[in-house]
Structure 1
Amino acid sequence: MNTSNIHPDYHMVAFHGTAADSYFIVVSTIKISHTVKIDGNIYPYVPIDESSNSYPFYTGKQKTIAKDGSVGQFNRRFKGLSTVKKEKV
């Protein structure tokens, strides 16, 4: 059994985070015909919408649900009510 051809070809690829206009050059097995020249080298080019430079979780600009959300409104509305009545012994 010949196992020399079971591994895919991998090469350096430039992923372009278009939202932040940043490039990431990583090893990948993706096959694509578009290329881009970066620092004098030509790489296969893959545009992506989000990257770690633009995704809110990684940039620290994510929106957090404040107390004004639906849970906060529920808690404010029903704060004094209780479903369990305590009996005096």
Structure 2
Amino acid sequence: MQQGIHPDYRPVVFRDRSGGLRLLTRSTRTSDETVELDGRTYPVVDVDVSSASHPFWTGRGRVVDTEGRVQAFERRYGRSGR
């Protein structure tokens, strides 16, 4: 491996503000913002969605009634393709 061409691989905190999750892992991502975790300071990267806020994982997702929607479409516009 060539020296000096790869980004630094260091501890980084990924934070989901809406779900309240903070995950300490290693990454090449950089950030000017920092956060203190367990008495040490780490760069922090904010993410939009994580397992703490995604509707599939939190159980807040909706199941779409596709059969009812198809039937409503057929009632409104009639059946085609026969």
TM-score (norm 1): 0.70
* Aligned residue number for residue 44 of structure 1: 43
In structure 2, stretches of 5+ residues that fail to align are none
Question: 2:52 aligned with 1:53, yes or no?
Answer: yes
Question: 2:14 aligned with 1:15, yes or no?
Answer: yes
Q: Which 4+ residue blocks in structure 1 deviate beyond 4 angstroms?
A: none
Deviations 1:44-65 (A, max 9, x none): 0122232111011222321111
RMSD across aligned C-alpha pairs, in angstroms?
2.6
User: Distance between the aligned counterparts of 1:11 and 1:72, measured in 2?
Assistant: 55
SS at match of 2:35: strand
Deviations 1:16-40 (A, max 9, x none): 1011111011111112121111111
Amino acid in the other structure paired with 2:4: N
Amino acid in the other structure paired with 1:52: S
Percent identical residues: 35
TM-score (norm 2): 0.75
Q: Report which of the two structures shows the higher radius of gyration computed on alpha carbons.
A: 1
Q: Is the 8 A contact 1:13 1:25 kept in 2?
A: yes
